[in-house]
Amino acid sequence: MRHIERHRTAHIGWLRAAVLGANDGLISTASLVVGVAAAGTGRAAVLIAGVAGLVAGAMSMAAGEYVSVSSQRDTETADLSRERTELAASPTAEHEELSEIFESRGLTPALARDVAEQLMQKDPLGAHAREELGLSELTTARPLQAALSSAVSFAAGAALPVLVSAFVASSYFTVVVIGTTLVLLVVLGALAAKVGGAPLMRGALRVAFWGALAMGASALIGRLFGTTVS
């Protein structure tokens, strides 16, 4: 029976986009809702602000991730094209280059040349992509996947403060928004840490800390602004 190992690096691409999107959606929308509520506005204004923040944030995250990851993919494509040209023009030099890479990792010169030769006979571009450029199937840039993951996860995170704004009584919904947001941030931080192999407590606390700081700053600005206007 074939032994299959599952490594966390297989989740890096989508996990990064999903966790960042959910955290950003939760923190930014909750902070927006708390800030607008602290200014003394009514439920309708708070709800409109929350929904607008959800939609604008999701689109912004998707656009940002798509542009960023597309740039990464363009760079990868350009590097592969250059490597393909070099392989066609100077196969001997590329063989020597690959041999030197293996030799620098501890193989004897003779073994390094043999390994390089066998790899180049099977898939020369793939061998140089992995060993020289550090590219593999696990790390390939996927712009559309990153954009969709960011948009959906942002909207999922932002949905909590919006729902609280819609259904919880105005007199104490600020407390409920802050409390539920901090709880969910702790859960998200711990989940991301678990999947990534990091300590759970550290992952949970650092996310909750920055979320609390953002909401506190927004509430202070909203209170000061509301007092000045009124």
Per-residue pLDDT of the chain (230 residues; tens, 9 = 90+): 444 445 445 455 556 667 778 888 999 999 999 999 888 778 888 899 999 999 999 999 889 888 988 888 888 888 788 878 888 888 888 888 888 888 888 888 888 888 888 887 887 787 777 777 776 665 666 788 888 888 899 999 999 999 988 888 877 788 888 899 999 888 888 877 776 677 888 888 888 898 899 888 988 888 887 654 44
Report pLDDT for 4.
46
* pTM of the predicted model as reported, rounded to 2 decimal places: 0.70
Tokens of 89: 């023009």
CA distance 65 to 187: 24
Q: What's the pLDDT score for residue 230?
A: 42
Q: Among positive and negative, which fits the CA dihedral 47, 52, 58, 60?
A: negative
SS3 96: helix
Q: Tell me, what DSSP letter sits at residue 39?
A: T
Residue 73 CA, chain-centre distance (Å), reads 16
Q: Within the chain, what is the greatest distance between any pair of CA atoms? A: 82
